[in-house]
Amino acid sequence: MTGPPLPAPRGPVSAAVVGALRGSPLPAVGNAGADPYGDDLQLALHCCYELHYRGFDGVDPDLEWDPDLLRLRVDLERVFLAALRADVAHSDDVDAEIAALLVEPVGPDVRGLSHHLARDGTLDQLREYVTHRSVYHLKEADPQAWAIPRIGGAAKAGLVTVEHDEYGSGHPERMHSVLFAEMMTELGLDAAYGAHVDRVPGATLAEVNLMSLCGLRRSLRGASVGQFAMVELTSSPGSERLVRAMRRLGCGPAAVRFYDEHVEADAVHEQVVRRDVLTPLLAAEPDLAADVVFGIRAALFLGERMQDLLLDAWERGGSSLREPEAVAA
C-alpha cells in the first residue's frame, strides 16, 4: 500500500517534520508561542500521526518510532492539550453530558453546517464540506480502533461491535471509508487517501488530530471513548439533513448512500455506545468520567471552530479551503 505524498510545510515546525521525513536531520525547533490550533502545529502533528496509519510515499516506515520525532510530537501534544484543557470546562457528570448531546436544536435559523446545506447550500459548498471531511472519513474509525486494546470486558465488546459496523460488518465494499470515497468520486472530487490535506486548514486537521492523540495515549482512553460517543450520538440527525441536501441538489445514489447509511447505523450505534460501551466502562473505571466528558467537550469545541470557519467563509461568498477546488476528471 502506497501512502499519500508529503504535504507542503506551513511554518517552521511542520517544515522541520517534513524535512526529517525526507531524510534531513531534525533541527531543534521551539514551539513557544505557537498557535495550538494553527496550521503549522496541526500539520506537524498530522504528519507525525500519519506515520502510525499509512505513512507517506517514499518515507521510511521505521520513522514511525524515531525517538526525535516522537519527542517533538509529545512536545506539540502538550501545547495542544494545554490549550484544549484551558478552553474546555471541566466536569465529570457523564449523564448530564450525554443528555445535552441528545437535545437536537430546531428552528429555521439554527446555525449549523448540515442545517445550512439542507436549507439552501450550494453544490460547491457541499463539495467543499466533503473535502474537509475526507481527512477523517477516508480512514473512518481507524483512530478509535486504538482504544480497543486499552479497555476491557463488556466495554471492549461494545466498542468492537460499533467498529465492526464501521468496517462493513465483514463486507469490504460496505466499509464507511469506501462509501465515502465513492461519494467523493460521484461529486467529482479526488478520492485518494490524503489527497486534500494541503487544501484544508489547521482547524480541520485539529479535529482529526484530537482523535489520534486520544487513541494513541492509554492515559486518554476515556477521552477517546468520549469523542467517539459524541460522534455516534449526534451523527444521525445531521446525516439525515445531508441526505436531504444531496437530493435537493440532484446528487446521484453513490453520493447519497454514505450519509443515508449513517442515518440508520448511527441511530443504532447511539444505543450501543450508551448501553454497551459507556455504562460498563464507567462501572469498571469510574475515575475515567472526567476524561470522557473532556473527550466530548473537546471534540465539540474543535467541531464548532471548524463549522464557524466554513459558515463565515460562505457568508462572505468565499471558500474555507486553502487552495482552489480540484475537480477530478
- Please report the pLDDT score of residue 75 as a whole number: 95
Give yes or no for residue 325 having a pLDDT over 60. no
For 248, the grid coordinates are 435537493
Per the listing, cell 475515567 goes with: 288
Three-class SS state of 10: coil
CB-based contacts of 63-67 (< 8 A; 24+ apart in sequence): 63/20, 63/21, 66/20, 66/26
- Please report the pLDDT score of residue 264 as a whole number: 75
For 97, the grid coordinates are 453530558
- Please report the pLDDT score of residue 329 as a whole number: 32
> What average pLDDT does this structure show over 215-232?
96
DSSP-assigned beta bridge partners for residue 100:
none
The Cα–Cα gap between 1 and 23 comes to 21
- Total H helices, total E strands in the chain: 14, 0
Query: Average pLDDT over the chain, rounded to whole?
Result: 94
Phi, psi of 92 (to 5 degrees): -125, 15
For 19, the grid coordinates are 524535512
- State how far Cα 77 lies from the chain centre: 16
In sequence order, what DSSP letters do the residues of 233-263 get, joined into one string? HHHHHHHHHHHHHHHHTT--HHHHHHHHHHH
User: Which band of pLDDT confidence, cut at 50, 70 and 90, is reported for residue 186?
Assistant: very high
What domains does the chain contain, in order, with CATH numbers? 12-87 (no CATH), 94-315 (1.20.910.10)
Three-class SS state of 203: helix
> What average pLDDT does this structure show over 3-26?
96
CB-based contacts of 140-144 (< 8 A; 24+ apart in sequence): 140/166, 140/175, 140/176, 140/177, 140/180, 141/166, 141/167, 141/176, 141/177, 142/53, 143/208, 143/211, 143/212, 143/214, 143/215, 143/224, 144/211, 144/215, 144/224, 144/227, 144/228
The Cα–Cα gap between 121 and 123 comes to 7
> What average pLDDT does this structure show over 227-252?
94
Give yes or no for residue 327 having a pLDDT over 70. no
- C-alpha separations of 93 from 113, 143, 268 in Å: 28, 25, 23
Per the listing, cell 506537524 goes with: 44
Give yes or no for residue 328 having a pLDDT over 50. no
DSSP state of 327: B
- Please report the pLDDT score of residue 32 as a whole number: 67
* Cβ atoms < 10 Å from Cβ of 208: 23
Categorise residue 55: left if φ over 0, alpha if ψ from -120 to 50, beta otherwise. Answer: left
Exposed/middle/buried for residue 151 (C-beta within 10 Å: 0-12, 13-18, 19+): buried
262-315 pLDDT per residue, tens: 887 666 788 899 999 999 999 999 999 999 999 999 999 999 999 999 999 999
Helix 67-87 vs helix 12-21: crossing angle, to nearest 10: 150
Considering only CA atoms, which of 202, 206, 191, 179 is closest in space to residue 326? Answer: 191
